[in-house]
Amino acid sequence: MMDQKSPILVLGVGNPLLTDDGVGIHAIAALEKAYSFNPPVEIMDGGVQGLNLLGFIAEAKHLIVIDAVRNGGAPGTLYRLAGGQIPRRVLQKNSLHQVGLLEALALASVLGDPPSTVILGVEPLDIASIGLEPTLPVRERIPELVDAVLAELKLLGCVPQARGE
Amino acid sequence: MAKRITIDPVTRIEGHLRIEVEIADGKVVNAWSSGQMFRGIEMILKGRDPRDAPLFTQRSCGVCTYVHYLASIRAIEAAVGVEVPENARILRNLLHGTQYQHDHIIHFYHLHALDWVDILSALKADPQKTAALAENVSQARWGGTAYFKQVQERIKTFVESGQLGPFNNAYWGHSAYALPPEANLMAVSHYLEALRLQAKAAQMHAIFGAKNPHLQSLVVGGITCAMDLTPDRIAEFLYLWKETQTFVRNVYLSDILAIGSFYKDWAALGGTSNFLAWGDFPEGEKEPESLFMPRGVIMNRDIAAVRPAEQEKVTEHISHSWYEGNTDQHPYKGQTAPQHGDYDPDNRYSWIKAPRYEGEPCEVGPLARMLVAYARGKDSARKLVDDTLARLGVPVTALFSTLGRTAARALETVLVGDAMEGWVMKLVENLKAGQDTIYQAWTMPDKATGCGLNDVPRGSLGHWIEIEDKKIKNYQYVVPSTWNLGPRCSNGKLGPVEQALIGTPVADPKRPVEVLRTVHSFDPCIACAVHMIDPRSNEVYKIHVL
């Protein structure tokens, strides 16, 4: 139980039952297992909640999103998107119900001050098959993805401590 | 040079829905509802420890995490034969009631309202007149000329920034939009206030749910949030509940009446015939007798002839779905053997199976639940329904429509939300009396079957589990969107949404907002693309819709 909400939210999103789509969830699990932070940060498994995450997003000052990102690169390619590189809306829309994360970000800006946002992504190979683990090219990049999150947190003045040291 | 990227939303949805309609003389004469994505979570569960099922199934749907979690826990409890303590039952009801409040508010404002509310027309509204209108029809806490002016400015900035994202609907200015600019501006302001509210209200789930958005506090035999059963935490929950329910009564319900009064023609469109509710919110040990939202089935709109609903009478048909075989099986016997083929409306055309109750398609969801509650003589439900019909000046048959479905959702939110206060008080009373049991021990049998029924915001949900050697042998579930959006069955009977669309007027086949109104009124948890065929002009339009 934290009384003081951290201004930093690390948000893993995706569906851990759908192979590479779960990479964001697997990455935050690895992050939480290996490190603690001072001051503490909010680490959240956002699943595929889309718009329902708006509350958590709106409360944060700094947002780090970890997700599978389709950008046409080789599977396992890592991406960092910030500021103007974050698409203002989803171009290839076929989601009715899951008004997605990008919409939630857009709406956060209508409501008031949206958090400064960085998206750390991995190019997926397979996001359609049912599977509890990412494919090999994606799985083997998870440690680097965790390092990328640590780098972002350091920029925000947060010191990671390896657990068990 | 930044690269253009797309975050592919395909993975963010539970399935992809395609609606095809045929139009003659400006009206829908035939319809096909097709789920375009296979969900085979059942296959992953085989051979696992039954206790894994709740955590897996809560990930199977985009937003309805808690409801699958609860249904799965109940199925296992039925199989192992454990009765949960009263406090656990109350806490589960509170979490479930919270889900109703949130889902229904989000559905109306963020997923459905823009079918009725024209956001661009709101830019033409006079803020002063809007303030007067709002004063008159809603008891919202915010208002006044300056407030509406500010909302208008915000929308304008957003529209001009070219990132209409969530409002990216191609139908602004369509002739089917009936609200004056001021009513549109008022509704859009409530859209934004509802966003703010849902952001706050998400905390309610976290209080007794241990984690949010994927709750972890339920276990087979009870609940684990003992450390949150303190006066402080309960007071915090009540405070958030009160704020949410005040919005439900003073804003959501008022908006339904205000907006509904401009769309009375929709009280004669979009209806179905049969209604099924498993019911939910047990207030005692005996079910279904103790269910706050009662169980029942209504056939052919004959409310007086409401009957008990029994899960044994459910079968799933697959003759028009992409599965092996043609058998109609009860979920205990159900197999998930996918066999994808071409999309062929005359033959197989959907990944969704066709559930039937005694062979009949049934609508599930808020309208079904309110009708069953009405039929069972539940006074609070009757009063709400009768008052609403009187205020809108529409006959009782208006319930069987798109407008009736949308109004029933709001009425149910009032009903369930109001009941939550009493549940909290009962919990407090128990704790004060030293009754703090929240868990009942149990043992895993070698062999057993169990069924967990619940009624969730979108409608009736059932999970069926078969255990052998202490492992899952078979697991099936039938979700609300399967009932509502399933295809034809072996007997050629249309699914509820297919039936509801027949007769819908379509002013402009290129912009079928009327079709969307009915499809969205079912709160499908699937994406939607509308494929229009106009046999007379022989044109085919493919329209992808948010």
The reported pLDDT for the residue numbered B59 is 81
* Between B60 and B440, the higher pLDDT residue: B440
Evaluate if residue B169 carries a pLDDT over 70.
no
Nearest to A70 among B8, B16, B202 (CB): B8
Q: Which of B3, B11, B513 would best serve as a mutation to test chain A binding (most A beta carbons within 10 A)? A: B11
The reported pLDDT for the residue numbered B2 is 28
Lowest mean pLDDT among A25-39, B114-128, B320-334: B320-334
Residue numbers in A near B5 (CB within 8 A):
69-71, 79, 81, 85, 87
Evaluate if residue B194 carries a pLDDT over 60.
yes
The shortest C-alpha distance from B544 to chain A (Å) reads 7
The reported pLDDT for the residue numbered A97 is 34
Q: Which amino acid, one-letter code, is at B453?
A: L
Evaluate if residue B228 carries a pLDDT over 50.
yes
Lowest mean pLDDT among B42-56, B120-134, B266-280: B42-56
The reported pLDDT for the residue numbered B526 is 58
Residue numbers in B near A98 (CB within 8 A):
9, 12-14, 62-63, 527
pLDDT band at A101 (very low <50, low <70, confident <90, very high): confident
Evaluate if residue A108 carries a pLDDT over 70.
yes
The reported pLDDT for the residue numbered B212 is 75
Evaluate if residue B406 carries a pLDDT over 90.
yes
The reported pLDDT for the residue numbered A98 is 42
| Residue in A with minimal Cα distance to B198 | A55
Average predicted confidence (pLDDT) for chain B: 88
Half-sphere exposure of B447 (CA within 13 A, CB side): 0
Q: What six digits make up the tokens of B463?
A: 């999970």
Residue numbers in B near A9 (CB within 8 A):
none
Residue numbers in B near A73 (CB within 8 A):
none
Q: Which residues contact B302 (CB under 8 A, 6 or more apart)?
A: none
Evaluate if residue B325 carries a pLDDT over 80.
yes
What whole-number distance in Å separates Cα of residue B88 and Cα of residue B438? 5
Q: Say yes or no for a CB contact (<8 Å) between B5 and A92.
A: no
* Between B172 and B247, the higher pLDDT residue: B247
CA geometry: angle at B173 spanning B169 and B176, to 5°? 95
A106-120, B79-93, B215-229, B477-491: range with highest mean pLDDT: B79-93
What whole-number distance in Å separates Cα of residue B10 and Cα of residue B226? 39
Active site residues of B: 14, 61, 64, 68, 458, 481, 525, 528
The reported pLDDT for the residue numbered B370 is 98
The reported pLDDT for the residue numbered B172 is 82
Q: Which of A95, A109, A135, A138 would best serve as a mutation to test chain B binding (most B beta carbons within 10 A)? A: A95
* Between B158 and B238, the higher pLDDT residue: B238
Evaluate if residue B542 carries a pLDDT over 50.
no
The reported pLDDT for the residue numbered A94 is 32
Evaluate if residue B335 carries a pLDDT over 50.
yes
Evaluate if residue B9 carries a pLDDT over 70.
no
Cβ contacts below 8 Å, chain A against chain B, sum to 177
Residue numbers in A near B529 (CB within 8 A):
94
The shortest C-alpha distance from A84 to chain B (Å) reads 9
Nearest to A91 among B6, B211, B546 (CB): B6
Q: Say yes or no for a CB contact (<8 Å) between A71 and B3.
A: yes
Residue B263 CB-density burial (10 A; 0-12 exposed, 13-18 middle, 19+ buried): buried
The reported pLDDT for the residue numbered A44 is 92
Tell me the Ramachandran region of residue A139: left when phi exceeds 0, alpha when psi lies from -120 to 50, beta otherwise.
Answer: alpha
Report the share of chain B in percent with pLDDT over 70: 90
- Answer whether B528 touches A (CB < 8 Å): yes
Q: Say yes or no for a CB contact (<8 Å) between A130 and B9.
A: no
The reported pLDDT for the residue numbered B13 is 36
Contact B231, B188 (CB under 8 A): no
- Answer whether B41 touches A (CB < 8 Å): yes
* Between A97 and B379, the higher pLDDT residue: B379
Lowest mean pLDDT among A119-128, B443-452, B533-542: B533-542
The reported pLDDT for the residue numbered A110 is 80
Q: Which of A5, A9, A11, A52 would best serve as a mutation to test chain B binding (most B beta carbons within 10 A)? A: A52
- Answer whether B304 touches A (CB < 8 Å): no
Distances in Å between the Cα of B160 and the Cα atoms of A82, A88, B165, B528 are: 22, 13, 12, 27
* Between B138 and A65, the higher pLDDT residue: A65
Evaluate if residue A152 carries a pLDDT over 50.
yes
**pLDDT tens string B470-515:** 999 999 888 898 999 999 999 999 999 999 999 999 998 878 889 8
The reported pLDDT for the residue numbered B12 is 31
Contact A47, A163 (CB under 8 A): no
Evaluate if residue A100 carries a pLDDT over 80.
no
| Residue in A with minimal Cα distance to B3 | A85
Lowest mean pLDDT among A137-151, B328-342, B418-432, B492-506: B328-342
Task: Mark out the alpha helices in A11-157 (DSSP H runs).
Answer: 23-34, 54-59, 101-111, 136-139, 142-155
The reported pLDDT for the residue numbered B502 is 95
The reported pLDDT for the residue numbered A58 is 84
Evaluate if residue B516 carries a pLDDT over 50.
yes
What whole-number distance in Å separates Cα of residue B264 and Cα of residue B270? 12
Evaluate if residue B336 carries a pLDDT over 90.
no
Nearest to B59 among A47, A70, A101 (CB): A47
Instruction: Provide mean pLDDT across the span B405-427.
Output: 98
* Between B311 and B210, the higher pLDDT residue: B311
* Between B34 and B292, the higher pLDDT residue: B292
Nearest to B9 among A51, A90, A106 (CB): A90
Evaluate if residue B421 carries a pLDDT over 60.
yes
Evaluate if residue A81 carries a pLDDT over 50.
yes
| Prediction pTM value | 0.91
CA geometry: angle at B448 spanning B447 and B449, to 5°? 145
Q: Which of A94, A101, A103, A122 would best serve as a mutation to test chain B binding (most B beta carbons within 10 A)? A: A94
Please tell me whether residue B362 adopts helix, strand or coil conformation. Answer: coil
Evaluate if residue B261 carries a pLDDT over 70.
yes
* Between B532 and A70, the higher pLDDT residue: A70
Instruction: Provide mean pLDDT across the span B76-100.
Output: 97
The reported pLDDT for the residue numbered B528 is 44
The shortest C-alpha distance from A33 to chain B (Å) reads 17
**Cross-strand bridge partners of residue A42:** A9
- Answer whether B17 touches A (CB < 8 Å): yes
Residue numbers in B near A21 (CB within 8 A):
11
Instruction: Provide mean pLDDT across the span B441-459.
Output: 96
Evaluate if residue B305 carries a pLDDT over 50.
yes
- Answer whether B4 touches A (CB < 8 Å): yes
Residue numbers in A near B11 (CB within 8 A):
14-15, 18, 21, 48, 68, 127-128
Average predicted confidence (pLDDT) for chain A: 83
Q: Say yes or no for a CB contact (<8 Å) between A97 and B43.
A: no
Nearest to A67 among B7, B59, B524 (CB): B7
Q: What six digits make up the tokens of A11?
A: 């948000």
Evaluate if residue B382 carries a pLDDT over 60.
yes
pLDDT band at B202 (very low <50, low <70, confident <90, very high): confident
- Answer whether B434 touches A (CB < 8 Å): no
Chain B window 209-238: which residues touch A at a Cβ cutoff of 8 Å? Answer: 211, 213-214
What whole-number distance in Å separates Cα of residue B166 and Cα of residue A51? 10
pLDDT band at B157 (very low <50, low <70, confident <90, very high): confident
**pLDDT tens string B34-65:** 877 666 677 789 999 999 999 988 887 666 78
